[in-house]
Structure 1
Amino acid sequence: MNDQDSKPHHGDVVADPPRGFMARVRNYFLTGLVVAGPVAITFYLTWWFVNWVDGFVRPFVPVDYRPETYLPFPVPGSGLVVAFVALTLLGFLTANLIGRTLVDLGERVLGRMPVVRAIYRGLKQVFETLFSGSGSSFRKVGLVEFPSPGMWSIVLISQPPSVEIEAKLPGQDEHISVFLPCAPNPTTGFFFYVPKSKVILIDMTAEDAATLIMSAGVVQPGSDPQKKIAALAETVLAAKAANEPESAFSRHRVKAPDKAPDKVDQA
């Protein structure tokens, strides 16, 4: 067999050498971290919220009605159950005539307090807007050209401006208020008024938009969960590789072109 047949031809790409054991361990560790990280953080935040509600509600529950009084260990979530039952009962009573009368009386009392009045009215409007089943604030998602021409950002559409603000806005176009969340923390961002004609509505839920922003575009709406995990893993590996210096073994080696044979003069 000719030795030249086993040599790579001109332009052939030489495959990378097999990766070492530690490189495989590192990749497996990063992939496991990507899979387990969101689950661990979700459980941690849920556990923190349950304990926070328990610590807030437990002082209002008599000692004789606490589960730990009869059990040798505390029961997490008991305060959350009490809070859920209490809020549900409050909503049921508020829907009746007597409950509405008591709520109106309490609002009149709060309305006479100079500082508390402004805080209460603002918080009430926010809660009614966010948790009302018939409200439309932050339930529609759109695109606006921001921060410069040719660059588009995802926004959550809120309410139209008030009459006073609409009268001061320049132009005759109808305006709409939008909230532009920042990545990776969508709870912070920019609030501004923009002409309604400049907003492009997109078929996306607010939850999908928040996921897209928190993942910085890695997790796309409607994608398969396994593809989401694979995309996150590839992002971590790409970021890790970008921070490491490139070695000669990690580059594709291309065989140098052979020297052209000397031209033979024809007899």
Structure 2
Amino acid sequence: MRRYFVTGLLVWLPIVVTFAVLAWIVGTLDALIDWLPERWRPETLLGYRIPGLGVVAAVSLVFATGIVAANVLGQRLIELWEALIRRIPIVKSLYSSVKQVSETLFSEGGQAFRTAVLVEYPRRGAWTVAFVTGEPPAAVVGGTGVAEPMIAVYVPTTPNPTSGFLLLVPESEIIPLELGIDEALKYVISLGTITPTAMPPSIHSPDAGT
């Protein structure tokens, strides 16, 4: 009976969690419709609420913003908006940080989170999966006293990869993984229970990390 119960649980748990997350996302975006004047809401015009309309509205808003921001007039409006934001003491710091991170992650030429690697952390002989985020500035690297190039990597926590640690690691101590970002994240989130399709044999080499 225990075997049957566990088998059934493994079938239903991913389904329930997936639909619960989707329902939360749709419900959150549908709440955007409540910002409209009451006379423009679907329940007023049609007499009933349309599930998922908030998702369509959010995607349309993002797409329309992209179209406007791609032309000269839109760029000028964004510059005026950012100039206004920079005048607000606390908001300007938060906005600038989020903007820089967004541009780094989503820019076509950016290399952040494009490469999964292995680094020795939190001690020698213990390895963890990390993601390359870029090259640290010279002002930061100079304080380490390390002569060779340094690489900034993000070490996610398990099973929640949205929190973690930023490490500056010598380039020679980083082992690139023959894994896609999706596979590496699955390995981290699953607590190591999902085996990636490829792992470099060098992690078992006595010269690894030297």
- Counterpart amino acid of residue 31 in structure 1: T
Structure 2 match to 1:242: none
After superposition, the C-alpha distances for 1:29-73 in whole angstroms (9 at most, x for unaligned) are: 111111211221111011101101111x11333434433334454
1:150 to 117, 125, 128: 125
Comparing both chains, which one has the higher relative contact order based on Cα–Cα distances under 8 Å and sequence gaps of 6 or more?
Answer: 1
| Local SS of the residue matching 1:168 | coil
The yes-or-no answer on 1:38 pairing with 2:10 is no
Shift of 1:92: 0.4
Structure 2 match to 1:26: 2
How far apart are the structure 2 equivalents of 1:51 and 1:67?
A: 15
1:176 to 151, 154, 175: 151
The two structures have a TM-score, normalised by structure 2, of 0.87
| Local SS of the residue matching 2:113 | coil
2:78 to 103, 117, 124: 103
How far apart are the structure 2 equivalents of 1:134 and 1:171?
A: 28
Give 5+ residue unaligned stretches, structure 2.
Answer: 199-210
Structure 2 match to 1:135: 110
Q: Structure 1 vs Structure 2: percent identity of aligned residues?
A: 35
Structure 1 match to 2:90: 115
Alignment coverage as a number of residue pairs: 198
How far apart are the structure 2 equivalents of 1:45 and 1:79?
A: 16
Structure 2 match to 1:52: 28
| Local SS of the residue matching 1:158 | strand
How far apart are the structure 2 equivalents of 1:200 and 1:49?
A: 37
The yes-or-no answer on 1:188 pairing with 2:163 is yes
Give 5+ residue unaligned stretches, structure 1.
Answer: 1-24, 224-267
How far apart are the structure 1 equivalents of 2:175 and 2:191?
A: 20
The two structures have a TM-score, normalised by structure 1, of 0.70
